[in-house]
A and B are shown apart, each in its own frame.
Chain A
Amino acid sequence: MELFTHLNIGLDAVFTLSNLGYCFLGVLLGTLIGVLPGLGPVATIAMLLPVTYGLPPLSALIMLSGIYYGAQYGGSTTAILVNLPGESSSVVTCLDGYAMARQGRAGAALGVAALGSFFAGTVATLVIAAAAAPLAELALKFGPAEYFSLMLLGLIAAVVLAQGDVFKAVAMVVLGLVFGLVGTDVNSGVERFTFGIPELADGISFVVLSMGIFGIAEIIVNLERVEHRDVFAARVGSLLPNREDMRLSWKPVLRGTALGSLLGILPGGGAVLSSFSSYTLEKRLAADPARFGKGAIEGVAGPEAANNAGAQTSFIPLLVMGLPSNAVMALMVGAMMIHGIVPGPQVMTERPALFWGLIVSMWIGNLFLVLLNMPLIGLWTRLLKVPYRLLYPVILLFCCVGVYSVNNSAFEVGLTLFFGVLGYLFVKIRCEPAPLLLGFVLGPMMEENLRRAMLLARGDISVFVTRPISLTLLIAAALLLCLLAWPRARRTRDLAFQE
């Protein structure tokens, strides 16, 4: 078996005391910055790059990638405990994870997140080892037309599966699209809705928007109802998921892992996209979708598995083709180049020890993470007992530091506060922010790919139905729309709304 030979090469390369040490250091650092809201892997890896100059290339890459997937683990902790997305991919975890924490089930939520992530990480590592090359080929089949159809499917799913009022959900999606329009148009280079502010020329960052609408808004709401918060802080609950939790979670974890492994390969926020898709899928499949948003453990297990799998497989385009699929991967390209390794298809054949070593280290890193995080759950949940008047200034401070560190821009800190106030308004008028986020993420990508597909096809609109992958995605989107119109589905939706 070739796979075992390869894994053996990797194991030989990784099992040195120093490499294991760097792996542990990486995931530890990653967990920490993941827990701290806003402080993301991009800023951390950029800061640590100079430190890695002196290290052997494999050790450097092991540590840096450990920071990345460690951050995905840590990000869910903050999402569950204080409703702050520690990482952009853990936004969805806020929805049900935080609801679970309010019911005193923070321990169960954290436990499921950690175990689900470990499982997903393990599977995704195997996927990379066994099928990196064919998967990369598959990703290449996705041209602009396919991306457009995929985004369309995502947007329709967002509306169909949103809770409550369809009208409000559509309004939030549209508002998200509008925020997504801000910035420089890729095709013409014209600036839209930037009001001559250069800081807006590249658009509003996802971190700024999500941190404001979820995190800052939550702080404002909490300050309004202090007594409520104290009640739920008193009960932390059992630290581990019980048998019933496990029974409900294992299928969502499997599905999330599959979704995440696939979507992670696609460029442009694979991890974010996969956690959102997993959430909508679980809600669709659930016997009682009304539980979602009110502490459904499936809504934590699925997306957490998905974002970790997605984070892992987003290494595939980098390792196989040398193409970074997100900002962290772009940094990894930088790290490799500094060590004289040109990322690209030749790495696998020319530096097998490095290539397979990095892959094996991911699995070891995931093992470290679960060993590190399970005992930490007790510590994290105790954080909830810290009085809120002490906790929130610290959270606010870290939010500001985190947002600032993304671009070294004070303007973005101010913008986060603006979105915080907006998010508070949404809570007051009972508008769910999740569709807005999806519109914000998908809208600009959809427009970009629609116009690019049109440019490439010279305005021939049939390109979307003559390409098989695109056609399949469009049919799925049409089916979802029918579902919306289908009376029975509507009734259940309305029922859900009344609850």
Chain B
Amino acid sequence: MFSAHPDTRPRITFLSCLALLSALCLISGEVVAEGTAEKYPAHPVKLIVPFPPGGPTDIVARPFAEALSQSLGQPVVIENRGGAGGAIGAAAVAKASADGYTLLLGTVGVISINPALYPKLAYAPERDLESVALLAAAPVALAAHPSLPANTLAELKALAASQSLRFGSAGNGTPGHLTGEMFRSASGISLAHVPYKGSAPAVQDLLGGHLELVFDPLQSVLPHIRAGKLKALGISSAQPAPQLPGVPTFIEAGVKTETTAWWGVFAPAATPDAILDALARHLARARENATVRQLESLGIVLLPEQTRAAQQDFLRAEAVKWGKAVRDSGAGID
């Protein structure tokens, strides 16, 4: 459902008819037409986080869920359904009834990487899910042990010519791993990939000096960079990170790799536009919440409100970019 709707008027008319029909047919009497959309939500909303509690996605989800609860006037309950790289939770939302009461906290992995990574995915993001709002993004940082005799990407390239270098990631097919693969082919720097089970063990081995480099979203390495236990050689976003003054983007340093790990709220594909719009409005308000704002101190960037058409353009580009990275890296799983 990432197709653009340049003219939305016929759709609203169609929806109004549909809503009229629903109003007649449904015992619950939930009216979802334009103008009456304020009736939504009439009961608590479930936000499925397709990863275990405490992980980076959960950390983004919780302040937003709290702020959204306040804005909606109905509790937004987080349900952690981890497993299979987020596929289990995403599939559950894809199959849920499209009434705006079951939402997904989607990630770059769940929406843009998994379809290329797993041939037998139980959901197709483009077909089954509709984006409500893109919430936040984090650049992937290239972090190094302080003892590494290279402080810039140019020095890294020179070093790689004389010494074999290894980079750790949070696992196969994670944004960190794939960014590392894109970086490797764009820069021509030879790096061996060492996958870990999540960010923490990879960062731990980097701190202990058991490997030279780690590609991982900024928030997992930022505190160690601040404490001087790690150093950042570059970041993957288009803009430099305000939390890391003086650290260049890959593009600034001459390596044509640009990625972010991002999070957004998704709904089952058939969810009425009126509900999607209402949710997007409330999520825009949630961005102003103080607790949500605190995410920025972790190295996460809050994204501005975008039209659904703009989101769909972005998601299409992401699917192409990450899909190519998966195929090039051979990370695809048969």
Q: Which residues of A contact B (CB under 8 A)?
A: 42, 45-46, 49-50, 53, 139-144, 184, 186-191, 196, 198-199, 201-202, 267, 317, 321-325, 327, 329-334, 337-338, 340, 342-346, 407-409, 448, 452, 455-456, 458
Which residues on A sit within 8 Å (CB–CB) of B63? Answer: 338
Q: Specify the chain A residue showing the minimal Cβ separation from B79.
A: A408
Which residues on B sit within 8 Å (CB–CB) of A143? Answer: 205, 208, 210
Interface residues of B in 253-286 (CB under 8 A from A): none
How long is the Cα–Cα vector from A452 to B164 in the complex, in angstroms? 16
Q: Which residues of B contact A (CB under 8 A)?
A: 52-55, 58-59, 62-63, 65-66, 78-85, 87-88, 91, 117, 120, 122, 164, 166, 171-173, 192, 194-197, 200-201, 203-205, 207-211, 222-224, 226-227, 229, 291, 294, 297-298, 331, 333
B194 is contacted by which of A45, A142, A452 (Cβ under 8 Å)?
A: A452
Which residues on A sit within 8 Å (CB–CB) of B66? Answer: 50, 53
Which residues on B sit within 8 Å (CB–CB) of A323? Answer: 200, 203-204, 207
Which residues on B sit within 8 Å (CB–CB) of A184? Answer: 84
Give the distance to chain A from B170, nearest Cβ to Cβ, in Å: 11
Whether A198 and B122, one on each chain, are in contact in the complex, defined by CB atoms closer than 8 angstroms, is: yes
Interchain Cβ contacts under 8 Å between A and B, 24 examples: A42-B52, A140-B209, A144-B210, A186-B171, A189-B117, A198-B83, A199-B84, A201-B83, A201-B85, A267-B204, A323-B207, A324-B200, A327-B52, A327-B53, A330-B53, A330-B55, A331-B54, A337-B59, A338-B59, A338-B62, A342-B222, A344-B227, A345-B224, A409-B88
User: Taking each of A189, A202, A343, A452, which has the highest tally of chain B beta carbons within 10 Å of its own beta carbon?
Assistant: A189
Which residues on A sit within 8 Å (CB–CB) of B164? Answer: 458
Whether A202 and B54, one on each chain, are in contact in the complex, defined by CB atoms closer than 8 angstroms, is: no
How long is the Cα–Cα vector from A337 to B81 in the complex, in angstroms? 21
Whether B171 and A332, one on each chain, are in contact in the complex, defined by CB atoms closer than 8 angstroms, is: no
Residues A198 and B53 in contact in the complex (CB < 8 Å), given A189-B333, A342-B297, A342-B298: no
Give the distance to chain B from A249, nearest Cβ to Cβ, in Å: 35
Which residues on B sit within 8 Å (CB–CB) of A189? Answer: 117, 171-173, 195, 331, 333
Whether B91 and A198, one on each chain, are in contact in the complex, defined by CB atoms closer than 8 angstroms, is: yes
Residues A202 and B62 in contact in the complex (CB < 8 Å), given A140-B204, A338-B291, A455-B194: no
Whether B223 and A334, one on each chain, are in contact in the complex, defined by CB atoms closer than 8 angstroms, is: no
Give the distance to chain A from B131, nearest Cβ to Cβ, in Å: 23
Q: Specify the chain B residue showing the minimal Cβ separation from A449.
A: B201
How long is the Cα–Cα vector from A332 to B59 in the complex, in angstroms? 11
Whether A407 and B80, one on each chain, are in contact in the complex, defined by CB atoms closer than 8 angstroms, is: yes
How long is the Cα–Cα vector from A344 to B88 in the complex, in angstroms? 32
Which residues on A sit within 8 Å (CB–CB) of B53? Answer: 42, 45-46, 49, 327, 330-331, 334
Which residues on A sit within 8 Å (CB–CB) of B203? Answer: 323
* CB-CB nearest 7 A-B residue pairs: A344-B223, A330-B54, A189-B172, A46-B53, A201-B84, A140-B208, A331-B54
Which residues on A sit within 8 Å (CB–CB) of B62? Answer: 49-50, 334, 338
Which residues on B sit within 8 Å (CB–CB) of A324? Answer: 54, 200
Whether B59 and A344, one on each chain, are in contact in the complex, defined by CB atoms closer than 8 angstroms, is: no
How long is the Cα–Cα vector from A407 to B172 in the complex, in angstroms? 22
Which residues on B sit within 8 Å (CB–CB) of A342? Answer: 222-223, 297-298
Which residues on A sit within 8 Å (CB–CB) of B210? Answer: 143-144, 456
Whether B195 and A456, one on each chain, are in contact in the complex, defined by CB atoms closer than 8 angstroms, is: no
Which residues on B sit within 8 Å (CB–CB) of A53? Answer: 66, 291
How long is the Cα–Cα vector from A321 to B230 in the complex, in angstroms? 12
Q: A140-B208, A345-B224 are in contact. List 8 more A-B contacts (CB 8 A).
A: A141-B208, A186-B171, A267-B201, A323-B204, A327-B54, A337-B59, A338-B62, A338-B63
How long is the Cα–Cα vector from A324 to B220 in the complex, in angstroms? 11
Give the distance to chain B from A233, nearest Cβ to Cβ, in Å: 38
Which residues on A sit within 8 Å (CB–CB) of B291? Answer: 53, 338
Give the distance to chain B from A336, nearest Cβ to Cβ, in Å: 10
Give the distance to chain B from A326, nearest Cβ to Cβ, in Å: 10
Which residues on B sit within 8 Å (CB–CB) of A407? Answer: 52, 80-83
Whether B82 and A202, one on each chain, are in contact in the complex, defined by CB atoms closer than 8 angstroms, is: yes
Which residues on B sit within 8 Å (CB–CB) of A199? Answer: 83-84, 88
Whether B205 and A340, one on each chain, are in contact in the complex, defined by CB atoms closer than 8 angstroms, is: no
A321 is contacted by which of B55, B78, B207 (Cβ under 8 Å)?
A: B207
Which residues on A sit within 8 Å (CB–CB) of B58? Answer: 334
Which residues on A sit within 8 Å (CB–CB) of B211? Answer: 456
Whether A46 and B80, one on each chain, are in contact in the complex, defined by CB atoms closer than 8 angstroms, is: yes
Which residues on B sit within 8 Å (CB–CB) of A187? Answer: 172, 195
Which residues on B sit within 8 Å (CB–CB) of A267? Answer: 200-201, 204
Q: Specify the chain A residue showing the minimal Cβ separation from B63.
A: A338
Give the distance to chain A from B119, nearest Cβ to Cβ, in Å: 11
Which residues on B sit within 8 Å (CB–CB) of A45? Answer: 53
How long is the Cα–Cα vector from A196 to B122 in the complex, in angstroms? 11
Give the distance to chain B from A193, nearest Cβ to Cβ, in Å: 14
Which residues on B sit within 8 Å (CB–CB) of A325? Answer: 200
How long is the Cα–Cα vector from A142 to B80 in the complex, in angstroms? 32
Whether A455 and B192, one on each chain, are in contact in the complex, defined by CB atoms closer than 8 angstroms, is: yes
Whether B120 and A196, one on each chain, are in contact in the complex, defined by CB atoms closer than 8 angstroms, is: yes
How long is the Cα–Cα vector from A200 to B182 in the complex, in angstroms? 30
